[in-house]
Structure 1
């Protein structure tokens, strides 16, 4: 039996419980934390892959399991090969290869010495009693909240998410959802912050007993009952039966930016404003705010409809000339580049490596973190080693095993010392989730510095994981620090190319930085992932736009078709129409973006940009105030709002906003400084006119 820490066993048990309840997202989150502890432990790997499989991310499951010979992993790998072979993204040759890989995996599993050679019916016939239970209250509340979010009833969703966390604080995805919907429903000053939700248990107050009411199956075997009966006349009636012929009983690309170099690079930046860092307030009630938003979106849609009708009457016979072409043809350069991607041993010198880093002075210090005091360590052993705590000499090991492996009578006997260390392991998991929740909350409210500092508390294994790296990349992206964000995204994609949660943002970041080769590679990799075609279309669209192809809009439309519920592709399609000078279509896409996610500042800002370009500054101002409310620290939103206020001659407000924008930006403040000077000049002119008027 392989030794497993209490905290690892806690994560293992909680994840399996979530799988049984159907809460696959929370199970995946917990399994990721378990996988980060030890990426080579077969049982951890299997649970992580199983959660990916249940989340329908078959390509990720396939990528994770490829190198493992553990019998459960081989079985799940074969199932994944079948699922992938059903995808229309693959040609017949690729499907044949996948099916052959599945066959090889199962043949290897059947030849394994670990596979029992006989059936142990004791295991087969007791599986119902071991795993049978009702869904937990927390899982039911979490699922109910998802339904209310889909119904746009944010207050009801928040109510049940809090109820979920009150019942089970290990449901961290419920807290993440609260952060996502917070701008329209939650005042975090009057509700609970992560440290109040994910607090440690007090050992004497923890109930470690099992529920004996429904742990066993509700139906107990009875020797005197029989549910299956057979007719004794079957042979006599066989001749009357009419019979007929139908009756029958990846590849990773090489990279020279390491995790330890990213740790040195960050160096506590960018320096954001701290005037209201700890005052996260949301005073608007959900019902009134949603009513206002719905009214605004409805008015915009009506205006778009009227404009389309007017334009239709101006065209010949009132008809638009639309060329339908749903076929996607990938640019030849995107395909040709693949020939050089698979060579992992070849050093690349491309435009991807334009970030200046003194590699000679970078000390090996583990995953990317904030700059700390340098520690000289051996070249071949630079990662800090964890000291395993052993309690075999302190507690009764049999007492510990009896707790985690229940006997047939379902009675639990656990010593006082064992109970102490069980609760200690539970609390370590709780502390880990608390740090993750704090990081997600600060990222959701666009406090980049606080998110970086909070996640800095994680150990190297947890920090150097794709979810954490993508959270940090997204935090920097939302401050327009694209260079730093790109390195975090790049590191995450390097160590886990199957983790595509922020691949769309990553591709847009590369578009801003004009890194064509790296974006080409990303698009190529995503194109061969049938489980993330939404991200693949967006990445290819951004690459086409960068290289001045005319197919970017086509890819954005394909992304929308693959998942109409997500707002990001609508936003990109809107900006693409702005670049083409088609303001009407741009407004239509931004309106759909706002409907898909009313709490996405990009949709409101995009719509405001359309009105600003049309010199309709009053309408633009209303929309920009909402974008500013949703993201009060985005320098582009602030500078645009200041410009609109300047056009409306609201110089006092414009001055405050533009100064805030300058304070946030770390570079490229020339335009804001010019705007500030113009505002100050107009203010002085107005003040002079008022004084002259007074004298007269």
Structure 2
């Protein structure tokens, strides 16, 4: 019956599998294997609490592993960690077998999976030192455990640890995703030293009669370059030069022993004994397809190594790009991502990484282009769409933003990203209460969604609910201590409350996490100006322009600084250049109008003031104040 249950699970008929598993468990309620099978059915069908309760008193490693997985999903981190550590390590835990082509082991989880799960549980329990250790051990065993590498990036350990300890190899993408014989993609039983016989089951990735077809197809799907298949002699020579694959003596086909050759022959000797000489000669003149697939185990291992090298190169580039993104070296990340093959570069994940890099650089038009391309390729993908909606919020593309929100909500109303997108639509129209309702819904769907808390904080600030804003910013930092946007929000809160020193401290903390943000540099410059440190403020504006030459806020701050210095000509030139980057930003029109008024050109001043009011009528009070002030008084505002 158990075989039938696993078959139903593999065919995704979870109700049938659950029904059979319940019958199996009823036969022997105390049997741990029956509990494991039933809990697996519940877990895969989304009944996580049911699986949790069934496994609560289980003791075998596979049961405790699944129980810990349930604890992770239910956010019972300490309980899951404690139970898993009670049975770890055990000799029954298998070493990682990186055989992507091999079948999963239903009885025992591999060591890398256990280590990664322990890392997740420790991270959830705020035991970051332990989490780091488990992630490191996991990545040593399996560089394909992408979750562990992502966790390193999110925890900010890649760059910081490398600076503290340059010899720390485990967190260097070049070393994690290295080309290594131990990281070969192969079935568990492909030990060259143990057998010279080649059978149709020796390595599932390569099947007889296909002559490397699977390798070519996989490489093509990955967007990897395909090298021509060399002759057996060339491959063996290549092996001797590059890498020692096996401890056996090198041999060509002609020097193999007779028994091995007979084992490889595609013909049956009983049939050949009844053939006459002419028939045998004709057979030899027209060999069968399998004769052309006359490859040694070592040659197949070499082909496997070649594809492994290409895959590791691909993963290394993606990992290095993500590592750069984790500490906001966005230019470096863009350079790395753009070295990927075209097929990978045009995949939704990489397109979103490119978009986020441009977003961090405040290059919103470029970010919008990449996000739009990713959404057209994969409209079902909601991940990162909350950032896309923020980009649209910045560049005031309200129609596209509304269409995106409607599309995402229609596709999945339980998607937190969809509700954030809807909230940004209301925020752009200054409907703060409706925006907050949408953000609250996103938090209900995923309480750990950091960005939903942060946007709720910003929206409460706009609605002058300062205490609630501070609460949301602090919750955001609880879910992600490296979320600089929440620190930026807290700094704005303290600045609004007149606590300039506290504001300066929080801006500085945010800059420590993301020292390349033009927006943060400008905000830090603004608080330095208020503290009377004008020279430092101007250097911050210059640095912001250097980091992001097309960042509207950085250029705006520099133009405003020039205006305050009464350098009207340069200020006007900067502001007009900026207008080409952000023609729908009312602040720029107000600044240009103010400069024209200071120069005595009231016609052009009124033209830009009117344009600012057309874009956003809420600027009416500010424009009236500018118009009513004497020209030289404006210069000191």
Deviation of 1:441 (Å): 0.9
Unmatched segments (≥5 aa) in structure 2: 1-8, 11-42, 47-101, 191-222, 236-252, 254-259, 265-294, 568-637
TM-score for the superposition, normalised by structure 1: 0.49
1:524 is paired with a residue whose SS is helix
How big is the shift at 1:677?
A: 8.0
Q: Give 1:440's aligned residue.
A: 322
The residue that corresponds to 1:177 in the other structure is 151
Where does residue 603 of structure 1 map in the other structure? 486
Q: Distance in 2 between matches of 1:429 and 1:211?
A: 21
Q: What is the distance in 1 between the residues matched to 2:330 and 2:484?
A: 16
Q: Give the CA RMSD over aligned residues.
A: 3.7
1:41-190 matched pairs, under 5 angstroms: 131-132=105-106, 134-182=108-156, 186-189=160-163, 190=166
Distance 1:169 1:478 in 2: 28
**Superposition pairs of residues 239-388 of structure 1, within 5 angstroms:** none
Conserved 8 A contact 2:405-2:421: yes
Matched, 1:508 2:390: yes
Residue 480 of structure 1: CA displacement?
Answer: 1.2
Of residues 412, 426, 437, the one that matches 1:544 is 426
TM superposition shift of 1:172: 2.7
Residues 420-472 of structure 1 show CA distances to partners (whole Å, capped at 9, x for unaligned) of: 11111112111110010011111222122211111112111111110000011
Deviation for aligned residue 1:134: 2.4
Shift of 1:196: 2.0
* Distance change >3 Å, CA 547–CA 209, structure 1 → 2: closer
Supply the distance in 1 between the matched residues of 2:334 and 2:185 (Cα, whole angstroms). 36
- Determine if contact 1:179/1:444 at 8 Å carries over to the other structure: yes
Q: Which residue of 2 aligns with 1:193?
A: 172
Aligned counterpart for 2:515 among listed residues 615, 629, 632? 632
Cα distance in structure 1, aligned partners of 2:45 and 2:330: 29
Partners of 1:175 and 1:129 lie apart in 2 by 24
Q: Which structure would you say has the larger Rg?
A: 2
Distance 1:437 1:55 in 2: 32
Separation of aligned partners in 1, 2:159 and 2:173? 17
Q: Choose the corresponding residue for 1:530, options 412, 420, 423.
A: 412
* 1:469 partnered with 2:351: yes
Q: Which residue of 2 aligns with 1:672?
A: 558
Equivalent residue for 2:464? 581
Q: Match of 1:479?
A: 361
Counterpart of 1:663 in structure 2 is: 546
Deviating more after overlay: 153-162 vs 434-443: 153-162
**615, 633, 638: which one aligns with 2:498:** 615
Are residues 679 and 146 of structure 1, via their aligned partners in 2, closer, same or farther at CA, if it must alter by over 3 Å? farther
Query: Deviation at 1:147?
Result: 1.0
Distance in 2 between residues matched to 1:55 and 1:160, nearest whole Å: 29
TM-score (norm 2): 0.54
Following superposition, the deviation at residue 209 of structure 1 comes to: 7.5
Does the CA-based 8 Å contact 1:466-1:492 persist in structure 2? Answer: yes
Could you tell me whether the CA contact under 8 Å between 1:199 and 1:430 is conserved in 2?
Answer: yes
Q: 1:675 to 1:561 in 2, by over 3 A?
A: same
Name structure 1 gaps, 5 residues minimum: 1-18, 21-52, 57-127, 213-384, 403-412, 682-696
For the residue of structure 1 that corresponds to 2:156, the secondary structure is helix
- How many angstroms apart in 2 are the aligned matches of 1:531 and 1:200? 44
Instruction: Report if aligned partners of 1:655, 1:680 keep a CA contact under 8 Å in 2.
Output: no
Match of 2:307 in 1: 425
Give the equivalent residue in structure 1 for 2:452. Answer: 569
Separation in structure 1 between the aligned mates of residue 156 and residue 512 of structure 2, nearest angstrom: 12
| CA–CA distance in structure 1, aligned partners of residues 320 and 428 of structure 2 | 36
How far does the alpha carbon of each residue in 1:572-602 deviate from its partner, in whole angstroms, 9 at most, with x for none?
1111111112222211211111112111001
**Superposition deviation, residue 160 in structure 1:** 1.2
Question: Tell me, what secondary structure is at the counterpart of 1:164?
Answer: helix
Higher helix share: 2
CA displacement, residues 24-74 of structure 1 (integer Å, 9 cap, x when unaligned): xxxxxxxxxxxxxxxxxxxxxxxxxxxxx9798xxxxxxxxxxxxxxxxxx
1:616 and 1:441 map into 2 onto residues whose CA distance is 35
Q: Distance in 2 between matches of 1:489 and 1:478?
A: 13
Contact persistence 2:414–2:445 (CA under 8 A): no
The structural deviation recorded for 1:642 is 1.5
Count how many residue pairs are aligned between Structure 1 and Structure 2. Answer: 377
**Aligned residue for 1:109?**
none
Label 1:209 to 1:664 Cα distance change in 2 as closer, same or farther (>3 A). Answer: closer
Do 1:533 and 1:559's aligned partners in 2 also have CA atoms closer than 8 Å?
yes
Call closer, same or farther: CA 1:622–1:548 in 2, change over 3 Å.
closer
How do 1:221-232 residues align onto structure 2 when only pairs under 5 Å count?
Answer: none
In structure 2, the CA distance between the partners of 1:459 and 1:616, relative to structure 1 (3 Å rule), is same
Aligned counterparts of 1:520 and 1:209: Cα–Cα separation in 2: 50
Shift of 1:493: 0.6
Q: Could you tell me how far 1:543 is from its partner in structure 2?
A: 1.2
Alignment correspondent of 2:604? none
3-state DSSP class of the match of 1:187?
helix
Please give the secondary structure, in 2, of the residue aligned with 1:188. helix
Structure 1 residues 200 and 677: CA distance shift in structure 2, 3 A: farther
Instruction: Name the CA shift for 1:640/1:386 in 2 (closer, same or farther; >3 Å).
Output: closer
> What is the SS of the residue equivalent to 2:323?
helix
| Cα distance change on mapping 1:386 and 1:656 into 2, 3 Å | closer
Structure 1 residues 528 and 670, CA, compared in 2 at 3 Å: closer, same or farther?
A: closer
Q: How many Å apart are 1:138 and its aligned residue?
A: 1.3
Compared CA separation, residues 388 and 183, structure 1 to 2 (3 A): closer
Q: Does 1:645 align with 2:532?
A: no
Contact in 2 for aligned 1:654/1:679 (Cα 8 Å): no
Question: Once the two structures are superposed, what CA deviation does each residue of 1:618-662 show, in whole Å capped at 9, x if it has no partner?
Answer: 111111111111111111111111221222234554344333123
Q: Would you say the 8 A contact 1:154–1:185 is kept in 2? A: no
Label 1:199 to 1:626 Cα distance change in 2 as closer, same or farther (>3 A): same
What is the CA–CA distance in structure 2 between the aligned matches of 1:131 and 1:586, rounded to whole Å?
49
- Distance (whole Å) between structure 1 residues aligned to residue 103 and residue 472 of structure 2: 53
Q: Does the aligned pair in 2 maintain the 1:566–1:597 contact within 8 Å?
A: no
Matched with 1:558 is 441
